[in-house]
Amino acid sequence: MSDFIRWQENWALEIPYLDQQHLELVEQINRIAQTVASERSTPAHRADAGRQAAASGGDKERCADVPAQSRLICDQVEELIAQTREHFREEETLMQRLSYPGYQEHKREHGILLAELVDLARQVRQGAEQMGLGTLTALKHWLIVHIVTSDQAYADYYHHYGPSIEKAASAGDSGEHPSAAGWRSDAGPAVPRVSNGN
Ligand SMILES: [Fe+2]
Ligand SMILES: [Fe+2]
């Protein structure tokens, strides 16, 4: 199966550790897509896959009571949540260090995205959500839209002001630092909800 999301070079923010995390999020969504595809073609495979997932990591406690046929997807979604939470924390740390004017709005967007993902995981655990192509497409959409709009906005800020801010911080003065009103984040279109893809 070809990758559900194929990483595009022009999605890179040119901030290596954050680009790496974005790539890992893409890879995790691709893993989920692969599981969904294989479940569709061989439903009996699900029970074995669930046992493999429990052995290979993920949040075993959360997914322990999930029916075997949904356990691998549950585990993979939990892993995606953990990765996403860590990634958002790293981005927010960088934005705070730079006193990024769009920090509060960006953080709010992270909160919405994470809440959507957590809700999706809850539905998967309860068996209410059949992880289908529609849900995966929504997941793909929110990730890419967020990267190319909101994340790109702070990356532009980082590349423009970051060096002088970091230099000024180490020298003990304020450096060139725009006010919130003076910086346009151009955050782009609203990020779609994850759970309404079906
Ligand atoms: Fe990001
Ligand atoms: Fe972000």
Can you tell me whether residue 68 is helix, strand or coil?
helix
Q: Is residue 189 part of a domain?
A: no
Residue 43 lies in a domain: yes
What's the rounded Cα separation, in Å, for the pair 36 and 130?
9
Mean model confidence pLDDT for the chain: 80
The dihedral over CA atoms of 7, 77, 135, 116, expressed in degrees to the nearest 10, equals -100
CA atoms within 13 A on the CB side of 66: 34
Ligand 1 centroid–CA 42 distance in Å is 34
Domain count, the chain: 1
pLDDT in the model for residue 30? 95
- Domain assignment of residue 71, yes or no: yes
Tens of pLDDT, residue by residue over 19-75, are 999 999 999 999 999 988 887 666 544 444 444 444 444 455 678 777 776 788 889
The count of other CB atoms within 10 Å of the CB of residue 91 is 24
CATH code, domain with 82: 1.20.120.50
Mean pLDDT, residues 120-146: 81
- Whether residue 188 lies inside any domain: the answer is no
Per residue in 100-120, pLDDT (tens digit) is: 999 999 999 999 999 989 988
Note whether residue 139 is domain-resident.
Answer: yes
pLDDT class of 174 with cuts at 50, 70, 90: low
Planar angle of CA 37, 117, 8, nearest 5 degrees: 60
Domain assignment of residue 141, yes or no:
yes
Ligand 1 mean position, distance from CA 40 (Å): 30
Which ligand is located closest to the Cα atom of residue 92? 2
Ligand nearest to the CA of 113: 2
Q: Can you say how many angstroms the Cα of residue 26 is from the centroid of all Cα atoms in its chain?
A: 8
The verdict on residue 190 lying in a domain is no
Q: Which ligand has an atom closest to residue 106 CA?
A: 2
Confidence (pLDDT) at 100: 95
**Is the CB of residue 172 less than 8 Å from the CB of residue 98?**
no
Please state, in angstroms and as integers, the Cα–Cα distance from residue 179 to each residue in 23, 93, 156, following that order.
Answer: 32, 19, 15
Q: Name the more confident of 113 and 130.
A: 113
This prediction's pTM: 0.79
Residue that the structure tokens 């655990």 belong to:
125
Question: For residue 194, what pLDDT band results from cuts at 50, 70 and 90?
Answer: low
- Number of the ligand closest to the Cα of 147: 1
Domain that holds residue 133: 13-170
